[in-house]
Structure 1
């Protein structure tokens, strides 16, 4: 993967993260769906961190 691929992945992950965060904030979800969305948000945050690390390694 090159830097452009990482940047595109980052854009898409940020978009998904913002949408999931909006659902968590604005919806009355059942407890199981709330847990699912909270876990999904955490996973997306981790994925963004990994992309950022990979991008910085690639840049050097």
Structure 2
């Protein structure tokens, strides 16, 4: 399970570096955006799973 996080963080860093170009400020902005999107998607999936489990229990 931990290897998934390593791969996800590596891809986020690589994507941010490619989108930002040579400037550090742009890199940090893109990195923050990508990480926020990743955490947002994770929370959406968790919410969907919890709702599904709740419906199954009823």
The TM-score normalised by the length of structure 2 is 0.55
Counting matched residue pairs gives 40
> CA offsets, 1:3-47, max 9 Å, x none?
xxxxxxxxxxxxxxxxxx756425515211110000111111100
Q: Quick one: which of 29, 33, 44 aligns to 1:36?
A: 29
Any idea what SS the aligned residue of 2:21 has? coil
The TM-score normalised by the length of structure 1 is 0.53
Question: Aligned-pair RMSD on alpha carbons?
Answer: 2.1
Query: Structure 1 unaligned runs (5+)?
Result: 1-20
Query: Structure 2 unaligned runs (5+)?
Result: 1-13, 54-58
